[in-house]
Amino acid sequence: MTPSKSEIKLIRSLAKRRFREENGLFVVEGEKLVQEAIESGWDILEIFRMEEIGEELMSRITLLSSPSPALAVIRIPETISSLSPDNNNLSLALDSIKDPGNLGTIIRLSEWFGIDTIYCSENCVDIYNPKAVQSTMGAIFRSKVVYTDLSRLIKEIEGKMPVYGTFMNGNNIYDQSLPKGALVVMGSESEGISPAVEALINKRLAIPSFSLSEKSSESLNVAIATAVICSEFKRSSV
């Protein structure tokens, strides 16, 4: 089916969060992601394929730097407003993550480590951002992403499960005995964990540097740091 002018305009508008929220729609691109969407059972409004509509039209509707062989317009599922962490499993809380690639990658690696619920502060980047969607590599269709007030969430679980945070001056993670069930807070790329959330965290972790260079990086990318943190928690709980 060839997209009409109004459909092209709508699809292009979904590059912006405001229009995604207004229309309740988002876009996935690429054969793998479109197939993942089909298999997920999510509500797909339309699928466009380059072999059917041509490269010129696909170039007009793509939200990426170059057109993909397939593009699907999907209805955003009902928002999960509240979901308490499982005391016996690891959960992640993302505080003010701004880069969509980082968010998508964290969703992807969370699935790898068996974490199906990720809590995002309300000022985190939108998971339906095109770059975030691409970076999940399909994990978006199998993960629970909850946008919520992290301070309130932590207060609600106080005394029920430990809350960890990552800090430059935290305790060496490789020296810690880590539980199977916990909530781990990861901070923003530039400012780390916000003061309001930091005040509620009772366990502080750090990933030490083993660099031999005097000019080594000051910190790790948040997605890479999250992978290290998750790996250590899973290793300790085996």
Tens digits of per-residue pLDDT, 152-178? 999 999 888 999 999 988 999 999 999
Give pLDDT, residue 209.
83
Choose the weakest-confidence range: 11-20, 121-130, 148-157, 206-215: 206-215
Domain ranges, ordered by start, for the chain:
5-75, 90-237
Checking if the pLDDT of 124 tops 70, the result is: yes
Query: What percent of the chain stands above pLDDT 90?
Result: 75
Give pLDDT, residue 169.
87
Checking if the pLDDT of 81 tops 80, the result is: no
CATH 3.40.1280.10 fits 90-237, yes or no: yes
- Give the C-alpha distances (Å, rounded to integers) separating 181 from 52, 85, 142, 163, 236: 49, 9, 20, 10, 11
Give pLDDT, residue 1.
72
Q: What is the DSSP string of the chain?
A: -PPPHHHHHHHHHTTSHHHHHHHTEEEEESHHHHHHHHHHT--EEEEEEHHHH-HHHHHHH--SSS--SEEEEEEPPPP----PPPTTSEEEEE-S---HHHHHHHHHHHHHTT--EEEEETTSPPTTSHHHHHHHTTGGGT-EEEEE-HHHHHHHTTTTS-EEEEEEEEEEGGG----SSEEEEE-BTTTBS-HHHHTT--EEEE-------TT--SS--HHHHHHHHHHHHHHHH-
1-60 residue pLDDT tens: 788 899 999 999 999 999 999 999 999 999 999 999 999 999 999 999 999 999 999 999
Give pLDDT, residue 85.
83
Give residue 237's pLDDT band: very low, low, confident or very high (50, 70, 90).
low
One fold for 5-75 and 90-237: no
Checking if the pLDDT of 113 tops 60, the result is: yes
Checking if the pLDDT of 238 tops 70, the result is: no
Checking if the pLDDT of 216 tops 80, the result is: no
Domain spanning 5-75 has what CATH number? 3.30.1330.30
Give pLDDT, residue 217.
60
